[in-house]
A = this chain, B = another copy of it.
Amino acid sequence: MYQFLYPMEQTNSEFLRGTLKTIVLNLLANRERMYGYEITQAVKERTQGQLLLTFGALYPILHKLEQEGLLMTESVEVDGRTRKYYALTPSGTETAQQKVSEFERFVEMMRSLLQSPTLALTK
């Protein structure tokens, strides 16, 4: 009945800015192919409802990634409606991996900026 036993706090954190492409590419890296609605549901599940990726944000991203040659599409007719599948191209697979490394590097950089110097001997 209820999807979550406890209401989850939603993070529409400003930190998300600039991470959505990376999220989409990496979800696709794990699942062969997905369609838009499926991606929003996967994001919701994996974050326990913390992150709700909206269509207004998702579709422009999908279209841009396709245009950049990182995704390829395949349209399938289901129940009289067109379902559009997205899958990584070889170039997209490579980019997905690069983004993860870049993210880890970014996190380390942020930590060096956020930690207090008394704890870290920064001079």
Tell me the A residues contacting B by CB distance below 8 Å: 11, 13-19, 21-23, 26-27, 29-30, 43, 45-47, 50-51, 100, 102-103, 105-107, 109-110, 112-114, 116-118, 122-123
Report A92 CB to chain B, min CB distance, Å: 15
Inter-chain contact B116/A46, CB cutoff 8 Å: no
Inter-chain contact A103/B15, CB cutoff 8 Å: yes
Inter-chain contact B13/A113, CB cutoff 8 Å: no
How many copies of the shown chain assemble into the complex?
2
For the complex, what is the distance from the CA of A116 to the CA of B100, rounded to whole Å? 11
Q: Which of B15, B26, B29, B51 contacts A19 (CB 8 A)?
A: B15
For the complex, what is the distance from the CA of A112 to the CA of B15, rounded to whole Å? 15
